[in-house]
Structure 1
Amino acid sequence: MAIPINSDVIHTPPLASATVMVVRDGPTGLEVLLVRRHGNSGVLGGVHVFPGGKLDAADRQVDPAALDRTAAELLSALAEPGLDPDTAVGLHLAALRETFEECSLLLGLHASLSASGDWARLAAQVREHTLTGLGFAAAVQRLGQPLAVSSLLPWSRWVTPRQPSVTNKRFDTRFFVAAAPAGQDASHCTFEATEAVWLSPRAALERYWAGEIDLAPPQIMSLCQLGRLAGVAQVQAVARSRPPALIEPEPFDQDGCRVICYPGDPRHSRRVPVWDGPTRLTYRNQRFEADGGLAALLG
C-alpha cells in the first residue's frame, strides 16, 4: 500500500460514513466478511475492507415508523454527544444499504424468509426498485419488510486524522457489527469490488502479513480485536456491554517511518486504552506493522 509520507494537513471536514463487520460462526470459529475494492477505486483501491460507504441524504429521510427501533434508541446506542436523531437513523440505514449494495445481504431479514430462499427473490426486487430510482429504504418498505436497524450493534467510531497516512480523504466512520443472516449468500458488487470472502480474523491477518491481501489500519486493528473473541455471541455481548470506542488516530514520523498511534499509546493524547493489544502501527516493509510483529496482532 503506497502512502503519502508528508506533513500535509487536510482542512476539509470528515465525511460521515458507516461500515459493517458482518460476522458468523464458521467451522473453526468466528469469521468476518471482507470485500476487495476495485483497484481503480478512489478510496482504498485493491484493499480488503468491511462493506460500507458514505452517508447519503436519503438515508436520513426514512419514515421512523418503518424502523424496528426508535430514533431515540439508535441515538442512545451511538452515544455521541451532539449527534442529532436524523443522523443516527441515517448512519444505521447507510450501514444496511451499503451491506446490501456491496454484498447482497439483507441484514435482519426474518430467518424463515432466508431459509426458504425467498431472500434472493426479495433482494432482486429491492435491486430492481432501486434501479428505477426508488431508494433502498423505500424499496424494502414496498416489499413489506422492516428496516431491521436492530440487527446492527455499534462497535467503534474512527475519525481520519488531518495528516494523511492512507488516503487524502477524511471520514468519520461508525463501525457496526451484525450477525450474518442465516441462509443468505454474500456476493460482491462487480462495480465496486472484485471479491467477497469469509475469513477468520486470524487468517485475514496472516494473509495480510504474507502479502496475499492488503488491509488499511482500521481493518487491521478491528481484526486484531475480533480475533480475541470466540464467536458471534461473544462479539455481540462485547458490543452491548460498552459504548462504541472513539478512535482518533494520531500520526507522526519517526526514523523516516510513518507511525500511527491510538488511545493508550505513550504518544497519544488519550492515555486510556480502548482495546487490548497493540496501540500503534508503523509503516515499514511496504505494510503497517505492530511492535512485536504478527504475534502482537494475533494476541
Structure 2
Amino acid sequence: MEIDTPPPGEELNDGEITEPRQAASVILVRGGDEALELLLVKRTEKARFMGGVWVFPGGAVDAHEGDGDAAHRLAAVRELEEEAAVSGVDPESVVKFSRWITPREVKVRFDTHFFLAPAPHGVEPCVDGEECVDLGWFSPQDALQAHQDGRILLVFPTIKHLEQLSVFATAHELLEYATGRDVVAVEPRVVLSGETARVLLPGEPGYDD
C-alpha cells in the first residue's frame, strides 16, 4: 500500500525509535446470524492524532489498569464506553482478534490489542461530540467502499482489519472463528521510495530488506 501523505500523528520518524504505548480497541459487531455489521467512530478533525479518521473505538491503556491481557481487556471496554457510550460489556467476555504494532519508522507508536464483542441488546451507541463526532454501522465491504469513494477516511490497520473481516458472513461466524485462536503480533514496515512511502506486511517482498 502506497501513502503520499501520512494521516495526522503518523509522521515518519527520523530519530531514535519510539517505544510503542500499550493500547486496546473493540470491534463491536452486530447481526447475529444475519449480515455482519460493525461499529466505526469518527475522530474529531481537531485531534492531533488521527484527526478526522474513522476507527474502531479504542485508546491507550491507563496505568491503573495494570499490565498484560487483563489490562488490555479493561482498557478496551473502557474506551468503548467513553467513545461510543456502549456499556455492559464484560472485559472477560471480549474475544482477542489481533495485535498490531505501529511500524518503527513512525513517530507515534502503539502496541494495540483488538478484541471482538457483540453489541449488547438494547444499547444504542452515541458519540460525545468532542473526541468522536460521528459513528456508523457498516458491513466490512461497505466501509471499504465508502473509503474508496472518499466518504470516510480510513488508515492502514483499519483497512487491513476490514479486509480480514469481509470474509465472514455473520457475527456468529466471526466470533466462532476467533474464539480460542492464537493471535500473532503484526508489525508493518514503512519503506521510502522517493516521495512515496510503502507500507509492507510481514512476508511481503521487501519486508526483510
Given the two structures, how large is their TM-score scaled by the length of structure 2? Answer: 0.89
Query: Are the counterparts in 2 of residues 155 and 245 from structure 1 also a CA contact under 8 Å?
Result: no
Which one has a bigger Cα radius of gyration?
1
Aligned match for 2:183, one of 244, 251, 258? 244
How far 1:48 sits from its partner (Å)?
0.1
Query: Are the counterparts in 1 of residues 96 and 114 from structure 2 also a CA contact under 8 Å?
Result: yes
2:38 partner letter: V
Aligned pairs for 1:62-101 within 5 A: 86-101=67-82
- Whether 2:156 is the aligned partner of 1:217: answer yes
Aligned pairs for 1:1-299 within 5 A: 2-3=5-6, 8-25=14-31, 29-60=35-66, 86-108=67-89, 148-164=90-106, 168-254=107-193, 256-269=195-208
Which residue does the alignment assign to 1:75?
Answer: none
Which residue does the alignment assign to 1:281?
Answer: none
Greater strand proportion: 2
How far 1:10 sits from its partner (Å)?
4.8
How far 1:107 sits from its partner (Å)?
4.0
Deviates more, 1:225-234 or 1:240-249: 240-249
How far 1:17 sits from its partner (Å)?
0.4
Q: Secondary structure in 2 aligned to 1:23?
A: strand
* Alpha-carbon distance in 2 for matches of 1:7, 1:90: 28
* Alpha-carbon distance in 1 for matches of 2:178, 2:63: 27
2:5 partner letter: A
Q: Would the alpha carbon gap of residues 21 and 10 (structure 1) be closer, same or farther in structure 2, given more than 3 Å must change?
A: farther
Query: Are the counterparts in 2 of residues 107 and 151 from structure 1 also a CA contact under 8 Å?
Result: no
RMSD: 2.2
1:149 partner letter: P
* Alpha-carbon distance in 2 for matches of 1:218, 1:58: 27
2:101 partner letter: V
* Alpha-carbon distance in 1 for matches of 2:47, 2:104: 21
Q: Would the alpha carbon gap of residues 233 and 45 (structure 1) be closer, same or farther in structure 2, given more than 3 Å must change?
A: same
* Alpha-carbon distance in 1 for matches of 2:5, 2:159: 16
2:96 partner letter: P
Q: Across the two proteins, how many residue pairs are aligned to each other?
A: 203
* Alpha-carbon distance in 2 for matches of 1:21, 1:28: 17
* Alpha-carbon distance in 2 for matches of 1:264, 1:107: 39
Q: Which runs of 5+ in 1 are unaligned?
A: 61-85, 109-147, 270-299
* Alpha-carbon distance in 1 for matches of 2:174, 2:88: 16
* Alpha-carbon distance in 2 for matches of 1:102, 1:200: 20
Greater helix proportion: 1
* Alpha-carbon distance in 1 for matches of 2:45, 2:189: 27
Q: Would the alpha carbon gap of residues 171 and 52 (structure 1) be closer, same or farther in structure 2, given more than 3 Å must change?
A: same
* Alpha-carbon distance in 2 for matches of 1:241, 1:88: 14
How far 1:26 sits from its partner (Å)?
7.8
How far 1:235 sits from its partner (Å)?
1.1
Q: Would the alpha carbon gap of residues 268 and 197 (structure 1) be closer, same or farther in structure 2, given more than 3 Å must change?
A: same
* Alpha-carbon distance in 2 for matches of 1:149, 1:7: 34
Q: Which runs of 5+ in 2 are unaligned?
A: none
Query: Are the counterparts in 2 of residues 10 and 163 from structure 1 also a CA contact under 8 Å?
Result: no
